[in-house]
Each structure stands twice: as structure tokens, then as C-alpha cells.
Structure 1
Amino acid sequence: MSGQMKRNRPDGLAEGSNEYVILSALISSARMETSVEIAALIDEFIIYEHIEKPYLTMLLQFLDQANIIQLVDFQGGEKLTLKFQQIEEIERGNEIQKEFLIDRIESVVKADERNEVVMVHCTEYHMFESSVQNISKVYTGAPSIMIQKIISSYLNKQVVIDGNDSIGDMQVIIPNLHPIEASMWLRESTLTNSGLPFFLYSTLGVENLILRDFEKMLSQPVSNIRSPYIFAPSLTNSSGVAKFYSIEEFKYEGTEDLHKLIRKGLVGAQYSFIDVNSGVPESLHFDIENLFTTLTAQNLLGGENSRYNYGPQYEVKDQKIASYNSKVITRIGTSNAFRGDYSQNFRSYQDESNGGDYNKRVNSKALKGFLAKTPLIIKVKGREFISGNNNFTLGKAIRIIFLDNDTTGDTGYAKKDLKKSGDYIIIGAKHVFNGIKATTELTCGKIASLGQEIEI
């Protein structure tokens, strides 16, 4: 209402002012002579990132007052080029531009006789480009470099590699997969020397795809160690807490399902890898406690975490559960398909030289399982993740603080909940743009918790 004074908010924006601006939203296709601009019609859009997906997805809702559905005649191959900017980035010129495929119309609801509310589902456009292509071709070298070559050649995108894989002499024939499928298939064999996995993903703030190893994520410094995200509604407006990023809401549910991991063979299990030439299996016992002991010794529990997310004291019939072969899993191992009387010998997709190398593959799967064992979703301000200045979301280490429910024995300072508090890795993000506000829901995972009180 005119004449009313807008209150200033802690982030420097006036109360009620927009936190972002849509610069353009163009719908185009080879079937259309001209593009259709719908930026002014958009009510809301939600963009999703996930550490296991090398593409973004989006839900977008707009008010159709100009026969957009009829004019475009959507057939499932239309491109939406979306360009927007966080309001504080206008002077610096940082903006985010992404291309999406409008892959389906989710719903069309009549608001009245002449207005419709349309919701469409979108997938980042390079996934569409990938889906129509097929690869049946020989590649040689490190799996990470193969991924980089495939994405560059077929999708005209760059892959930033952050980490060193342990294999440099692999040769594979891509078995009739499209480029994204082929890259994800190769990623399964992309491991560090310690057997930690790589993740291939797309993020909102950068144009390239990222291939990053888990060891880098666990050893990186915590990005917000001086200003942790904190859930403390009673303290949000108090003096002295300006350095904290406030958590608006959180979800802590569906956690600590150890039984599920046991049944997947990620706690204690026997793995057999069969040499198809000799028929002799290479067998090993996997014990999750050994893996966590190694990570602890290497200081790879993430940030200042020190209590890994597994209780080694668990026993059944006076025997530690990780010592059981709760699952017996058999895989094809060595084939020596590309070894022989040649000037160069290469390992094939499943080849390993010994049981220790096979154990790396199991370590990789187990760490992914335990990373998702204790998920935490927090809703925070979106401004930290939509600046468009090469801002990484996925894979970033952040500190999250919850206060202890028990106030007995008060020592004069706020005690931390050491179970939910800790240094987390961001594994998913949901960016919500609802017309005025921009918020982000971060899905966070960790393989360990804080072991003692920390100063905040």
C-alpha cells in the first residue's frame, strides 16, 4: 500500500521487496517461428538439484492469459530458456541462465472462463539431447577422462574434475547407452585410491557439470564455520546472533535405518568376484567397522565430526553384527578382455588385480549408503545459493547447529544437540521462487557426528 514505510530486514532488503527478478523465460522450438516470452506470467518455479543426477529438474507454474498452451501447441520437445537474478546481484551483473526441456504438462486448472493456471515439469536440456543419442564405442584411459570426453563430444558441455581416480588404464566398449547413461555407468568405476566414490552432478550456480570425489568433500574446510546454520527460533531476533544463519524449518525423519543397510550387504557381508577365465572366485569379507576405522585414522569423517554413524558395539548372539556374512553377493570380476599379447594391456570394466581392489568397490557403495542414513532437510534463505557467481551448492560442507533439549545443569551457555548438530555435506537442494521470496531446502547427509561441544 502506498504511503507505508517498508521495514528493513537483516539481509538488507526492505520487508516485502522481491528477492529475485526473472529477466526472461523464453519458450522456443524448431516448430515455432518466434519464441514466446512468459516471464511476466510466472507465479512460481521450483528447481531441484541432487548429487546423484547430472541434470536439474524444475516445476514451473504460470498464468495463461494469452493462449500460451494453444499458441505453443506443446508436444514435449519445447525448450525453456530461463534467466533470473538475485536482487543483490544486479549491480555486480551476476545472473543465472539455464536451458530446460518442457517434458510434460503436469496440470491445467481453469481459474475462470478466460484464465488458466498451468504447471509444467522441466528437465535440464542436455538430458534431452543425451536421450536421443546412442554410444557403442571403445574408450581407453581413466574413467574420469572418459566421462569428460563423452560429455564434451556429445553434449558440448564441460566436466570439471575435482579429484584423482585410481584407475588410469581401463578400456571399455560403451554398451549402447546414451551419453548421460554412459557417464553414470563409468562413474561407478571411478574411485579414489582409498575406494571413495565420485559424484557427477549439475548445480544451479555453474554451467559445467561437476565430477568430484567424496574424499575431497570430507576433507574440505566447512564453508560457514564462523556463521553456522542454527535452529533456535527464540534467539533469531536477539542481540548477538547476527552471525547465525537462521533455519526456518527442518525435517528429521526416516533416519538411522541400519537394518536396511544390513540387508543391502553394507555392514557385514561376503563378496565373491568370479574370474571368468579360471572360474575361481576372489572372496572377501566386508566389515563396515574396518572402513570407518580407516576413515577416522585419515581424518575423513567430515569437518570436526568424530563419532561415525555406526555403533560397533551392536551384537547378535555375542558376535558383532559386522562380523556376520549377512549377505552373500556374487559378481563377475576379472575377464582380462583387453589383456594379452599386445603392446599395451588394459583392464576391463570389472577387472581388479587383487581382493583389496575389489574391496574399494564395496567401500564406495557402503559410504553412499551411510551418507544417506542420517538425512536432514533444512529450509534457509536462498540468497547464499542463487548468486550466480560460480556458487556451488552440492558437495559443500556446512555446519548446522541444534540446541540441546535438556536445560538441566545450565552452565551459562547454550549446549548443543550433538546428535543432530554437525558438519554436513549438501546432497540435494530445492530452490523455491514463489513470486517474492527465494528459499532453499537443503538435503544434508553425514557419515559422522560431533563428538564434543564446539564453540559457536
Structure 2
Amino acid sequence: MPAQPSQFQIKSASFTADRIGGFETRFFNIKNQIVEINIYESIYTLALTGNITVVDDKALYDEIDFQGNERLRIELVGASGDAEVIMDKTFIMTGIESENKASDKQTVYTFSLLEEHAFISSAEKLRNSYRGTISEIVSTIALSQLNKNVDASYTGGIPSIQSAIRVIIPNLNPIKAIKWLMSRATTTTGSPFFLYASIHDDNLRFGNLDTMYTQTPWNQTLPYTYNPANTNLAEGLSELEQGFTVTEIIPGQSSNLLRLVMAGNIGANQETTNLNTGQIERRHFDVLRTLKNLSTSNIIDMEKQFVYDDDFTLKDKPLALFDAMNIHSIVSTGTYGDFKSYHDEFDKSLLTKKLESNVIKNLLLKNTMSVVVPGTAFFIGKATVGDTVNLRVVNSNLEAGSSTNTDELLDKRKSGKHLILKLRHTFSGERHKVLMEVAKLERDR
């Protein structure tokens, strides 16, 4: 078998500590000691995490007296030495995950990694008052407390439907405060907003599910392909074809309707008590109405959605008409004059939006899977979480006839456009492998 080409190079990798003067004064070069690097991305987290495995044959970590506050700087480039930088990040090495003796003179360490702004967040609490739209307050906290700019271009120009509020952060660290605020932000369809970090830049990306889900897959013309019958024939493919070959599919938890029912995500009674007026608003939440709103806004196709079956009945009644849970919230209008507080809504129809946001998040998780692919194309295409990816998965349970075309053999549940929820980049030797967790709300065609 011919040797496979290198997929990346470590241009530099070094670590230091403030107590020895930092990178400007003294650092240790560990480029040639690295065994493996794992970097994790997620639309649910505001920072990259990871781990690095190194072989220590010089007692460096004893010399530096490792304490869990060291900084690691990594720069990766493409296969050729003069290629574009594909990652340039600095992490805090927060601890030792494992330590094993490889020989009498060698110890293998695995260190956990965390971006510095997440470490900063863990060390402080907010008790400040803020006024403005949710996106404005989130951007203010991110910049002032985490030194991070927020890139709102991933909203597609769709703002949060909630108007300006005034809030006092209830003694939360900056990242928890941001997540608390983000849980109130929705589009007109009830779709949630996300704030997340990417391996490709140093900003925090601000996006919503409506925009994410409707975007064109970054590999629309070159789908990642999985054919169980040809998994051992990769060496016969061209280099480009190998780069878009799925090497493994790991099914996730799927089709668990009961869990959604018990969480009140299908049908629920929702009540809101206004302490200022004494009024109690009651309304029934019906998931079918939420899905129809998504369809009306061209986010999904109702005929292809496979997260809720409206033909299913219990006791001769559609499931969505049951109240599987009572959800009660308390508001107090007028607390801040003309400004709303965290839970307030002047428009009563918006009181359901926070519930809809959680429901849509959970519907998305009803059908997930993990896919392992070569990582080269991810960096060339600048793909990341929050993007969509095109997959072609052959159904191994179907028998092909002489007149069967390729599309007829595709697994409609697993093929087509998926939203990328999480990524794990593994750099080992000269290979870059990506494990991506993906999800979708519709069958393909």
C-alpha cells in the first residue's frame, strides 16, 4: 500500500509558566515529544477544550514543577511547511489526566487543555446591572469580562424577537451569565440562539438555529460518503475521494419520544403568574404548532420532518393535546419602569418562546449520530460547528438489483444535510481525524 500523504505539520509547540517569566523569558519546546492532540468544539460551549499527550524523557514537568496553570502554545500548518496556518491557539494546561511510565527514562503524560477566557470566567462572579437587548448585553459581558469579541454575522441578520431588558446578574460567573441570558433569546419561530468558539478564529460566534439549519452545506458538491461494502477499498480511491470518505458511523441515541413527552416537549400546560397585577395566564403548548411555524418560515419541510408523528393517538386524542407537564413561571411587570425584567414580556404571545426554544433544542437531539472522517477538508473549507454538512450513507440492509440506482440505496435518515453540533479534532502522527456529532430534523428527500 502506498504511503498516505501527511495531513498537517506541527510548526511549533511550547509551554511555559508565569513563575518562570512566560513565553518572553523562558519556555520549553515540546514539538518533537507530542504523541497526540485532541481539540473539542461544540455549539453549546464558549471555549475550546482538549488534551495533549506527550512523552517526557527529560523530566521537564518535574523541572517546571507542574501545577495546572501552565500555558501551552500550539501552531499547526498544512502538509507543506509553507502552508497556511490552520490553528494557532494558546491554552492553559489545567491538569494531568493520566501519567504512565513508558520505560525507565520515559513518562507519558496527558494534560487537559482549556482556553484562557474560560479559566478567567471560572475565577470571578458578576453582580452587575445591565440594560439593552440580550445580544447587546451578551456582547458587553464577553468583551469586558472575557476579552472576546462577538461575531454576529452568523445570525443571518435575524435578531432576537425579545426587546430590551434590564437585568441584575445573580452572582454568576461570566460564561454562566451569558448562557442564562442566551436561554431567553429566540427568533420569531422560537428557535434558540447559540454563542460558541471555533478553532478557526479567536472570536465568539453568535448564531441562531434558523440561520444555521437553512444554510447550504459547506461540502454540498462533495458529500462525505459511507458505503459499508467498500470500507476496505479506500486505497483504491483518489486522494480527493479518500478525503471525503466516512470511515465510521457511530449511531447516537435516537427516536426516544417518551423522553420528550415526559419533559413536556410534546404537550404541556404553561402558566405565568404576574406578581404585580395578580393575573395568571394559562395556555397549552402544542409541539405541532411549533413545527408548523418552522415550516411556514421555510426552516423545515413538514412532509419530511421525522421528529413528531401527529397521527399517533392515545385514548383517541393526539399526543400533543395532552398536558404531560405543568410549567409555571413568575413575572413582575413594572419592576424597572419601561424596561422589562428577565422573564417579562409585554406581548403575551411571547411568553411561550423560552419553552419553544428548549423544545426545538431537544427535538434536534432526537436523531443524532457521530461520523468519523479525514480532517484535511475541514480546514480547507474552514468548516466548524454551527455549519451544515452533506452526507451520503448507503443502506447496507438493502439488496441492489441490476436496475437499482445509487439514490435508491441511500439511507434517507442518515443521508442529506445535517447540522454539526460537536467536533473532536485528533492530530496524531501525520494524520488529522475528525469525529463530528451531527443532527437533523428531516429525512432526506
Answer whether TM exceeds 0.5 for this pair: yes
Q: Is the 8 A contact 2:77 2:83 kept in 1?
A: no
Per-residue deviation at 1:94?
Answer: 2.8
For residue 78 of structure 1, what is the aligned residue in structure 2?
A: 70
Q: 1:399 and 1:16, CA in 2 relative to 1: closer, same or farther beyond 3 A? A: closer
Q: Is the 8 A contact 1:217 1:395 kept in 2?
A: yes
Q: Is the 8 A contact 1:267 1:288 kept in 2?
A: yes
For residue 109 of structure 2, what is the aligned residue in structure 1?
A: 118
Query: Are 1:286 and 2:280 matched, yes or no?
Result: no
For residue 196 of structure 2, what is the aligned residue in structure 1?
A: 201
Per-residue deviation at 1:193?
Answer: 2.3
Q: Is the 8 A contact 1:309 1:449 kept in 2?
A: no
Which structure 1 residue ranges, 4+ long, deviate > 6 Å from structure 2?
Answer: 238-241
Q: What SS does the aligned partner of 2:429 have?
A: coil
Per-residue deviation at 1:86?
Answer: 2.5
Match of 2:36 among 37, 41, 44: 44
Q: 1:330 and 1:175, CA in 2 relative to 1: closer, same or farther beyond 3 A? A: same
**Higher mean C-alpha deviation, range 353-362 or range 35-44:** 353-362
Counting matched residue pairs gives: 430
Alpha-carbon distance between aligned partners in 2 of 1:232 and 1:433, rounded to the nearest angstrom: 25
Match of 1:31 among 10, 15, 19: 19
For residue 425 of structure 1, what is the aligned residue in structure 2?
A: 419
Q: What SS does the aligned partner of 1:193 have?
A: coil
Task: Give the partner amino acid of 2:71.
Answer: K
For residue 264 of structure 1, what is the aligned residue in structure 2?
A: 263
Matches for 1:292-371 after TM superposition, within 5 Å: 292-301=291-300, 306-339=304-337, 345-371=338-364
Per-residue deviation at 1:411?
Answer: 3.2
Per-residue deviation at 1:428?
Answer: 0.2
Query: Are 1:377 and 2:370 matched, yes or no?
Result: yes
**Percent identical residues:** 27
Alpha-carbon distance between aligned partners in 2 of 1:206 and 1:199, rounded to the nearest angstrom: 17
Alpha-carbon distance between aligned partners in 2 of 1:336 and 1:44, rounded to the nearest angstrom: 56
Q: Is the 8 A contact 1:296 1:306 kept in 2?
A: no
Task: Give the partner amino acid of 2:366.
Answer: K
**Higher mean C-alpha deviation, range 36-45 or range 424-433:** 36-45
Q: What SS does the aligned partner of 1:449 have?
A: coil
Q: What SS does the aligned partner of 1:134 have?
A: coil
Q: Which blocks of at least 5 consecutive residues in structure 2 are unaligned? A: none
**Higher mean C-alpha deviation, range 235-244 or range 175-184:** 235-244
Alpha-carbon distance between aligned partners in 2 of 1:409 and 1:64, rounded to the nearest angstrom: 57
Query: Are 1:394 and 2:382 matched, yes or no?
Result: no
Alpha-carbon distance between aligned partners in 1 of 2:400 and 2:146, rounded to the nearest angstrom: 59
For residue 433 of structure 2, what is the aligned residue in structure 1?
A: 439
For residue 11 of structure 1, what is the aligned residue in structure 2?
A: none
Q: What SS does the aligned partner of 2:85 have?
A: coil
For residue 12 of structure 1, what is the aligned residue in structure 2?
A: none
Residues 230-279 of structure 1 deviation map (CA, whole Å, 9 limit, x = unaligned): 11144565789949821000111321111111111111111112212133
Matches for 1:76-225 after TM superposition, within 5 Å: 76-87=68-79, 90-161=81-152, 162-163=154-155, 164-225=159-220
Q: What TM-score comes out, normalization by structure 2 length? A: 0.91
Per-residue deviation at 1:199?
Answer: 0.7
Q: Is the 8 A contact 1:292 1:308 kept in 2?
A: no
Per-residue deviation at 1:171?
Answer: 1.0
Q: Is the 8 A contact 1:25 1:38 kept in 2?
A: yes
Q: Is the 8 A contact 2:75 2:85 kept in 1?
A: no
Alpha-carbon distance between aligned partners in 2 of 1:382 and 1:232, rounded to the nearest angstrom: 19
Q: What SS does the aligned partner of 2:222 have?
A: coil
Alpha-carbon distance between aligned partners in 2 of 1:401 and 1:132, rounded to the nearest angstrom: 45
**Higher mean C-alpha deviation, range 30-39 or range 407-416:** 407-416
Q: What SS does the aligned partner of 2:419 have?
A: strand
Alpha-carbon distance between aligned partners in 2 of 1:300 and 1:294, rounded to the nearest angstrom: 9
**Higher mean C-alpha deviation, range 92-101 or range 43-52:** 92-101
Q: Is the 8 A contact 1:227 1:244 kept in 2?
A: no
Alpha-carbon distance between aligned partners in 1 of 2:63 and 2:280, rounded to the nearest angstrom: 62
Alpha-carbon distance between aligned partners in 1 of 2:297 and 2:403, rounded to the nearest angstrom: 34
Q: What SS does the aligned partner of 1:448 have?
A: coil
Residues 291-331 of structure 1 deviation map (CA, whole Å, 9 limit, x = unaligned): 112212222028x9932421111111111111100111112
For residue 9 of structure 2, what is the aligned residue in structure 1?
A: 21
Alpha-carbon distance between aligned partners in 1 of 2:431 and 2:284, rounded to the nearest angstrom: 52
Q: What TM-score comes out, normalization by structure 1 length? A: 0.89
Per-residue deviation at 1:386?
Answer: 3.1
- Aligned-residue RMSD, C-alpha: 2.2
Alpha-carbon distance between aligned partners in 2 of 1:197 and 1:72, rounded to the nearest angstrom: 45
Q: Is the 8 A contact 2:260 2:362 kept in 1?
A: yes
Q: Is the 8 A contact 2:243 2:373 kept in 1?
A: no
Alpha-carbon distance between aligned partners in 2 of 1:244 and 1:35, rounded to the nearest angstrom: 36
Task: Give the partner amino acid of 1:99.
Answer: T
